[in-house]
Amino acid sequence: MFDIAILGAGRIGRIHARNVAAHPDLRLKYVTDPNGTAAGAVAAETGAAVADIDAVLSDEGVRGVIIASSTDLHLDQAARAIAAGKAVLCEKPLDMDLARAQAAAPALGGDVPLMLGFNRRFDPHFATLKSRLDAGAVGALETLQITSHDPAPPPVSYIKVSGGLFKDMAIHDFDMARWLLGEPVTEVYAAASCLVDPAIAAAGDVDTAKTILRTASGKLCVISNSRRSGYGYDQRIEAFGSRGLLRADNILESAVSTWGGSAGAPGIASDAFQNFFLDRYAEAYRREVAHFADILAGRAKPSVGYADGVAALALAEAAAQSVATGQAVRL
């Protein structure tokens, strides 16, 4: 049984807190948050104590720290936790700034495990796709199509501090692309528009983008992003191999379809897609925490870590630069 602290009691912190509390090998000892009410609510629900980060880091019983605070705190908190000898599970993105993230290498790239919270790698559907791809089910991977559209845009107030579509939203897709491509991306081209809400453009961001990644061996990946879909959360992958295609489709709320009737038309209406990431990736979040438990127990090394966080951020910056210059960016 390993004692865990969670830094940050927001939406993601609460998810992790529940999954820690439910895991047989983990115990949630502390939760910290500048917002005492939020921290208190998580503490009440999970039996953890509210504490500040100093108390957490000086408690030698705490073996792991989950960093779910605001992005600007990630690097510093991770460095402090690692300095204190605590294994770290840090939410994405590592930071808003690639240079700062790279500069943290001495602090974060050492022997104390740092796992990065790219939850989609732990999704059972994408993990199935990855393992079949690796097993050669469709031969050698040639190209990828990643579709990642949100059901509806966040408030513009969030957009303004989000780091932009590429660092905030597409960062997951860049990591997914890297994971599946299996070799470094050497070139990035992104075309982007503001089609959903002019307020997003006014905030200096885009809401719709198509990005092409290219690797040294010529593998290609297209990422499609939109802040709004009109039909639910769209999270699909197609991996084209030399002998076939692997496809991960969206997940429906149930296997019930309606033919005619209230569906309003003849033909077949599926149930809705699982609406957003808290539903769609609920199992992924559980498996992510389980992997952290395995790391604490010495049963596993982090399958995704600091270097992955930096690399995804580099792709996000390259994509933003490509939009700004209108040209492809070599890495």
User: Which of 13, 64, 117, 151 forms a contact with its own copies (CB under 8 A)?
Assistant: 151
Site residues (CB under 8 A) for its own copies, limited to 109-138: 124-125, 128-129, 132, 136-138
# of chain residues touching its own copies (CB under 8 A): 79
Asked if residue 254 binds its own copies (CB under 8 A), the reply is: yes
Measured CA to CA, the distance from residue 30 to residue 185 in angstroms comes to: 39
User: Which of 147, 172, 289, 306 forms a contact with its own copies (CB under 8 A)?
Assistant: 147
Of 181, 258, 261, 194, the closest CA to residue 221 belongs to: 181
Cβ–Cβ under 8 Å, residues 146 and 223: yes
User: Which of 226, 293, 304, 316 forms a contact with its own copies (CB under 8 A)?
Assistant: 226
Residue closer to its own copies by CB (options 61, 264) is 264
Asked if residue 279 binds its own copies (CB under 8 A), the reply is: no
Q: In b/e form, how buried is each residue of 234-268, taking b as 16+ CB within 10 angstroms?
A: bbebbbbbeeeebebebbeeeeeeeeeeeeeeeee
Residue closer to its own copies by CB (options 111, 256) is 256
Q: Which residues contact 159 (CB under 8 A, 6 or more apart)?
A: 153, 199, 200, 203, 205
Site residues (CB under 8 A) for its own copies, limited to 203-222: 208-210, 212, 214, 218-220, 222
The pair of three-digit structure tokens given for residue 281, joined into one six-digit string: 């990736």
Measured CA to CA, the distance from residue 209 to residue 167 in angstroms comes to: 13
User: Which of 41, 55, 282, 328 forms a contact with its own copies (CB under 8 A)?
Assistant: 328
DSSP 321: H
User: Which of 59, 76, 97, 187 forms a contact with its own copies (CB under 8 A)?
Assistant: 187
Piece in contact with its own copies (CB under 8 A), picked from 36-44, 109-117, 176-184, 320-328: 320-328
* H or E element, residue 189: strand 185-193
Measured CA to CA, the distance from residue 158 to residue 318 in angstroms comes to: 22
Phi/psi at 132 (5° precision): -70, -40
Measured CA to CA, the distance from residue 69 to residue 7 in angstroms comes to: 6
In the complex, minimum distance from the CB of residue 5 to its own copies, in angstroms, rounded to a whole number: 22
Asked if residue 224 binds its own copies (CB under 8 A), the reply is: yes
In the complex, minimum distance from the CB of residue 316 to its own copies, in angstroms, rounded to a whole number: 18
Asked if residue 195 binds its own copies (CB under 8 A), the reply is: yes
Asked if residue 47 binds its own copies (CB under 8 A), the reply is: no
Residue closer to its own copies by CB (options 123, 168) is 123
User: Which of 55, 112, 156, 251 forms a contact with its own copies (CB under 8 A)?
Assistant: 251
In the complex, minimum distance from the CB of residue 215 to its own copies, in angstroms, rounded to a whole number: 9
User: Which of 83, 161, 202, 245 forms a contact with its own copies (CB under 8 A)?
Assistant: 245
In the complex, minimum distance from the CB of residue 221 to its own copies, in angstroms, rounded to a whole number: 8
Residue closer to its own copies by CB (options 247, 301) is 247
Q: Which amino acid is at 331?
A: L
Measured CA to CA, the distance from residue 285 to residue 300 in angstroms comes to: 17
Piece in contact with its own copies (CB under 8 A), picked from 78-86, 110-118, 251-259, 297-305: 251-259
Give Cα 280 to chain centroid, integer Å. Answer: 12
Measured CA to CA, the distance from residue 229 to residue 208 in angstroms comes to: 10
